[in-house]
């Protein structure tokens, strides 16, 4: 993407410390809320694939989704994430110049995806038929929460640059790193680390998974580029995968969500809709912790 990250709104207003993010959310059950958001990000990503949107559109949409819930008074308990997710995709498609998407087409794909899937999670995550007017109303509130900061810098571009610079990064390592970046869109990494740090962390995790961790760590030492922060990001990615595969946490998140949701006008929730624990994210053999 053209432009300078260091002068962007992403750096100035959307790069937060973990403490700032926690204060903004003010959640009584942060682990459970994060688990619910992660479930819906998976739905958003699959919906983007169904719509055949470029990965950049999906990445931008997930960024909008995460930013929305990083603003005060925005919670999955009061703002229906299954209504927000397709709205984020609708807005991202326009911002990324993918033409004028039709809200009805997005909703139809969403409902068809939930109806046709054999995945128990997606079968259970039903939402009422939504009208175009509801998406437009949701889009207005989304833009307000985003403060119309719509340009997004993604770590995928940095990852490809790093892969070109380092001969130790084989194509399969780069592919795995891109998969890691896709997974961690469901985490807070994009809110608390610059894109290039997330790219380096994903690249390291992928290298370890393919038995090339030593070579990449030596390269990271040569870079001397925010090494401590990169290691923190690696640890956060590993923790994300650990929690994503925590069945007890998933069950607790479902119970917390169903018991506590209190939808506002924006949210559209019926008594028949429900959540079930998310399926485990595919393990790729990451280490138990970042290198010391």
pTM of the complete model:
0.84
CA gap 199, 64 in Å, rounded? 19
Let me know: does 191 contact 66? Beta carbons within 8 Å: yes
Predicted pLDDT at 290 = 43
Which residue shows structure tokens 């922060």? Answer: 229
Domain boundaries, the chain: 17-146, 155-244
Nearest to 198 by CA among 3, 2, 10: 10
Share of the chain above pLDDT 70, in %: 83
Confidence of residue 225 (pLDDT cuts 50, 70, 90): low
Backbone angles phi, psi at 15, to 5 degrees: -100, 105
- Is 285 a residue whose pLDDT tops 50? no
Dump pLDDT digits (tens) for 124-173: 555 556 677 788 888 999 999 999 999 999 999 999 998 888 777 889 99
Higher pLDDT, 160 or 99: 160
Predicted pLDDT at 59 = 96
Predicted pLDDT at 282 = 39
Dump pLDDT digits (tens) for 16-34: 999 999 999 988 889 999 9
Which residue shows structure tokens 């690696």? Answer: 234
128 DSSP 8-state letter: -
CATH superfamily of 155-244: Cyclin-like (1.10.472.10)
**Dihedral sign computed on CA atoms, order 240, 178, 2, 185:** negative
**Topology adopted by domain 17-146:** Cyclin A; domain 1 (1.10.472)
Please determine whether the domains at 17-146 and 155-244 fall in the same fold group of CATH.
Answer: yes
Give the mean model confidence (pLDDT) for residues 194-215: 89
Predicted pLDDT at 129 = 63
DSSP result, 52-70: T--HHHHHHHHHHHHHHTT
Mean residue pLDDT of the chain comes to 82
């Amino acid at each position: 993407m053209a432009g300078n990250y260091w002068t962007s709104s992403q750096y100035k207003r959307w790069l937060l410390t973990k403490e700032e993010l926690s204060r903004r959310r003010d959640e009584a059950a942060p682990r459970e809320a994060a688990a619910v958001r992660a479930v819906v990000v998976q739905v958003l990503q699959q919906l983007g694939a169904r719509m055949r949107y470029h990965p950049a559109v999906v990445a931008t949409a997930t960024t909008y989704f995460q930013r929305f819930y990083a603003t005060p008074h925005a919670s999955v308990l009061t703002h229906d994430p299954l209504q927000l997710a397709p709205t984020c995709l609708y807005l991202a498609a326009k911002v990324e110049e993918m033409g004028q998407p039709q809200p009805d087409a997005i909703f139809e794909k969403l409902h068809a995806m939930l109806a046709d899937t054999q995945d128990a999670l997606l079968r259970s995550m039903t939402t009422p038929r939504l009208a175009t007017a509801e998406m437009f109303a949701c889009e207005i509130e989304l833009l307000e929460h985003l403060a119309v900061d719509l340009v997004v810098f993604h770590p995928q571009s940095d990852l490809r640059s790093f892969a070109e610079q380092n001969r130790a990064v084989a194509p399969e390592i780069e592919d795995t790193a891109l998969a890691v970046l896709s997974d961690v869109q469901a985490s807070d990494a994009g809110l608390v680390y610059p894109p290039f740090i997330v790219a380096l962390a994903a690249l390291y995790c992928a290298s370890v998974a393919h038995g090339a961790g030593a070579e990449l760590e030596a390269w990271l030492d040569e870079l001397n580029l925010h090494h401590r922060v990169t290691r923190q990001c690696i640890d956060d990615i590993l923790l994300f995968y650990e929690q994503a595969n925590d069945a007890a946490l998933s069950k607790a998140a479902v119970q917390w969500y169903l018991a506590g949701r209190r939808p506002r006008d924006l949210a559209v929730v019926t008594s028949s809709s429900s959540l079930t624990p998310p399926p485990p994210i595919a393990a790729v053999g990451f280490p138990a912790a970042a290198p010391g």
